[in-house]
Structure 1
Amino acid sequence: MANEKKDKRFLLRLDQGLYDRLAEEANRANQSVNMYIVSLLSNNHGTKSFENRQIIGQTVLGKDLNVDHGLAFVSGIYYRYLINDNGNVDTTAKYAVIEANGNILTLQKI
């Protein structure tokens, strides 16, 4: 059993207010405080791309979408885009970036 993967343990000091908030959130998620902290760290440690961190949630005007080339200009970068309902671009509407996969953004009309 020398190859068995073992969990690492370390002491984490939290002030009482932070612990109480984490305990409350963990309770709502039906998790222990330890598992809740592990899930927070796992979900937020280096797994998200620039696009997922900085682009999702931004809005793009329909008039700023290049329909001929299928490009959207967001935060100084050109991305290919898809409309989430496969509809045509409404040049009078606003779109929210709801997903980023490499250089392709998925937009939803808002």
Structure 2
Amino acid sequence: MSDEKKRFLLRLDQQLYDQLSQAADQENRSINAHIETILHKATQGDNFEQRQIIGQVINGAQINADNGLVTVTGIYYRYLISDNSPVEPTSRYAVVDAVGNILTLQKI
């Protein structure tokens, strides 16, 4: 793979930019590097969950801590919280990984 990088203009609304900026800060990356990582992961997915589920944002209300399941696009999955914190029903979570029927969620 070539080290040459292409440049292009990407227009984002302020809310999306702020969300990406916050996520990039949490990963100790620049926004550009964070977006590049997201795009790379999106193109490398080899299963339905990797292609369609990664990056989705869900409400904590979609997570059932009692039975250990989360509903994403009408499908039930088992889940892990990235920092092992308890589920907060009023918070929002991003799907950051999918292995089999287990999703890793990160509070945003």
Q: TM-score, normalised by structure 2?
A: 0.60
Q: CA deviation at 1:28?
A: 3.0
Residue 56 of structure 1 aligns with which residue?
A: 54
Residue 78 of structure 1 aligns with which residue?
A: 76
Q: Which runs of 4+ in 1 moved over 4 A?
A: none
Query: Which structure 1 residue ranges, 5 or more long, are not aligned?
Result: 1-24, 30-42
Residue 11 of structure 2 aligns with which residue?
A: none
Identity of matched residues, %? 54
Tell me whether 1:27 sits opposite 2:4 in the alignment.
yes
| Alpha-carbon separation, structure 2, partners of 1:97 and 1:58 | 6
Q: CA RMSD in A?
A: 2.3
| Pick aligned residue for 1:100 from 81, 85, 98 | 98
Q: CA deviation at 1:60?
A: 1.1
Query: AA paired with 2:61?
Result: K
Query: AA paired with 1:89?
Result: V
Q: TM-score, normalised by structure 1?
A: 0.59
Count of aligned positions: 72
Query: AA paired with 1:63?
Result: A
Q: CA deviation at 1:44?
A: 5.1
| Alpha-carbon separation, structure 2, partners of 1:96 and 1:28 | 28
**1:38-84 deviations in Å (ceiling 9; x for gaps):** xxxxx958x61100000000011101211100100001110000000
